[in-house]
Structure 1
């Protein structure tokens, strides 16, 4: 994998890094808050991505947005499983939640190491 050019990170402020860490934190806590924090975080991701010139930050915003929409799609697709019986729907939701957490924790660790997602 290509490493990030650190010269492009020099114009970023500590506040910009803090915003990214907060967004990853909101997304990571979202499954435990009935996904309300994810909705807030994805809105902020869209707003911040439009103003982003740094490719590292822009890619991480896109990564978070893409993960959110894929998780939502799979939650909607598997929701009919609840009609059969509660257990299959619950199992599908748990699997999607684990995948969601894995993606955000992986992205967060890669952002912390200044790597692309």
Structure 2
């Protein structure tokens, strides 16, 4: 008797797709370690926003650009509130907010889906 081994399942997903919005999201996440790569991500988002791209990408650039500026404003407010010690909690909440926004955008970029409402403050 010969055992028939089924062929390996073919996947339509080729793995991790390093598209432009994904690069910006990864730079934002890397800024927690380096402290500067978010600026590079912001510049790339502004540059790539004006270039020809896939139809789902513009919403990602708007989302990332808004995330940066809202995050910077939040960091300034937390810095001022640190004088009365409540800013320390604000920094933790700001970091969680930024990570959640960035990871959700990263997942949508991997699926090549547009961000439904890029102007929103939350998700």
Task: Please tell me the TM-score bracket, short chain as reference.
Answer: 0.7 to 0.9
Q: Over aligned residue pairs, what C-alpha RMSD do you find?
A: 1.7
Greater helix fraction, Structure 1 or Structure 2 = 1
Determine which of 100, 109, 121 is the counterpart of 1:111.
109
Q: TM-score, normalised by structure 1?
A: 0.75
Query: After the TM superposition, which residues 31-110 of structure 1 pair with which residues of structure 2 at under 5 Å, given as runs?
Result: 31-34=32-35, 36-85=36-85, 88-110=86-108
- Alpha-carbon separation, structure 1, partners of 2:42 and 2:72: 12
CA drift of 1:61 comes to: 1.1
Structure of larger gyration radius: 2
Q: Which runs of 4+ in 1 moved over 6 A?
A: none
User: Structure 2: where are the runs of 5+ without partners?
Assistant: 1-16, 116-123
User: Structure 1: where are the runs of 5+ without partners?
Assistant: 1-15
Q: TM-score, normalised by structure 2?
A: 0.72
